[in-house]
Amino acid sequence: MRSNSYTLIFTSLITIFFGFLLSVAATSLKPRQDINIEIDMKKNILGALGIEPKNSGKWSIDEVQKVYKENIVGIVLDKDGYETDKDPKNIDADKDMNFFPIYIHKTNDNINGYVIPISGKGLWSTLYGYFAIEPDCETAKGITFYKHGETPGLGGEVEKKWFQDNFKGKKFIDGNNTLVGIQVVKGSVDKSSKEAYRQVDGISGATITSKGLEVFLKEDLAKYQAYFNLNKEAIG
């Protein structure tokens, strides 16, 4: 049996040694990890806008940085739709109810579109994604989901191209400039219907996921209406 002081000294030494090891690992790897998170977010934003990597393969880190820098400006809006001096990096888009990040797609001062983060409950899980909007502030340009836990083949179809392409060109604003949201219908859209301008084909067997998506998309769009209205006035 060893003495208590030996045990104490031994454990202290071990703790100090491994603690040191851990902090070295954490601090030396931190910059790379931050870049990864940033690149991942930027890739998703570019994806929502339908911007593909040049050589149709995978994004390289440099390419993402370059394309993003040339095309995207991230700003934070307050509740009334005015720009603030905050950095979108510091805003938790899923929780913050006062400040809303928005990413503007700009080439040579021409606005080509907007991207907003969206998230909400599906059937089994919270879905996270980005929603891209045309410069007219009322037409959908694209949608992507980067994280969800829905049933593959049913709710999981939200990450498929056919479903996401569905949204392109659909409007979430009606003739009276009221936010009506985009409706996910059961089955396919009846083209002759008056409502067809704001409807997309649903996923068969995934009513709840579709309904959830419909609801949280509208809620998230509502946060940005003040800003979009200001924009529309400015354009005239």
Partner 1 sequence: MQWLRDILDKVAPLFEKNGKLEILHPLYEATDTILFSTDEKTESGPHIRDNIDIKRVMILVVVSLVPCYIFGALNIGYQESLTFGLSSDWKTNLISGLLKIGPILAVTFATGAFWEVLFAVIRKHSISEGFLVTCALIPLTLPATIPLWQVAVGTSFGIVIGKEIFGGVGMNIFNPALTTRAFLYFTYPAQISGDKVWAIAPDGYSGATALSIPAGQLDANAVTLLNNASINTVFDFSWFNMFMGWVPGSIGETNKIIIIFSALFLIFTGITSWRIMIGSVIGLVFTALLTNLLSPYSSNAMLTIPPHYHLVMGSFLFGTVFMATEPVTSSHTELGKWYYGFFIGMLTVIIRSINPAYPEGIMLAILLMNAFAPLIDYFVVKSNIKKRMTRYAQ
Partner 2 sequence: MALLSKKSKEAFKDPLMASNPISLQVLGICSALAVTVQVQTAVVMTLAVIAVLAASNTTISLLRNKIPGKVRIIIQLSVIATLVIVIDQILKAYMYDMSRQLSVFIALIITNCIVMGRAEAFAMQNNPKDSFLDGVGNGLGYGGILISVAVFREFLGNGSVYGVQIVPETLYSYGYENMGLMVLAPGAFVILGLIVWLHRIFAGIEAE
Binding-site ranges for partner 2 (CB under 8 A): 1-2, 6-7, 10-11, 14-15, 18, 21-22, 25-26, 29, 32-33, 36-37, 39-40, 151-153
Residue 123 interacting entry, from partner 2, partner 1, none, C-beta within 5 to 8 Å by type: partner 1
Among 11, 61, 204, 235, the residue binding partner 1 under the rule CB under 8 A is 204
Residue 6 interacting entry, from partner 1, partner 2, none, C-beta within 5 to 8 Å by type: partner 2
Q: Does position 211 bind partner 1 by CB under 8 A? A: yes
Residue 25 interacting entry, from partner 1, partner 2, none, C-beta within 5 to 8 Å by type: partner 2
The candidate with the shortest Cα–Cα distance to 112, out of 165, 146, 73, is 73
Please tell me the distance from the alpha carbon of residue 184 to that of residue 188, in angstroms, as a whole number: 9
Q: Does position 153 bind partner 1 by CB under 8 A? A: yes
Shortest distance, position 139 Cβ to partner 2, whole Å: 32
Burial of 17 (0-12, 13-18, 19+ CB in 10 A): exposed
**Which pair of structure tokens corresponds to residue 75?**
């700003």
Residue 26 interacting entry, from partner 1, partner 2, none, C-beta within 5 to 8 Å by type: partner 2
**Which pair of structure tokens corresponds to residue 58?**
């995978």
Distance from the first to the final alpha carbon of the chain: 86
DSSP secondary structure letter of residue 175: T
Q: Does position 149 bind partner 1 by CB under 8 A? A: no
207 vs 225, beta carbon nearer partner 1: 207
**Which pair of structure tokens corresponds to residue 211?**
């309904």
Please tell me the distance from the alpha carbon of residue 208 to that of residue 191, in angstroms, as a whole number: 23
Instruction: Give the x-and-dash track for 43-82 against partner 1 (CB under 8 A).
Output: ----------------------------------------
| Range 166-202 burial, b when 16+ CB lie within 10 A, else e | bbeebebbeeeeeebbbbbbeeebeeeeeeebbbbbb
The one segment of 15-23, 139-147, 203-211, 224-232 that binds partner 1 by CB under 8 A: 203-211
Residue 211 interacting entry, from partner 1, partner 2, none, C-beta within 5 to 8 Å by type: partner 1
User: In the chain, where do the E strands start and end?
Assistant: 72-77, 83-84, 100-107, 110-121, 126-133, 140-147, 183-185, 199-201
Q: Does position 127 bind partner 1 by CB under 8 A? A: no
Residue 188 interacting entry, from partner 1, partner 2, none, C-beta within 5 to 8 Å by type: partner 1
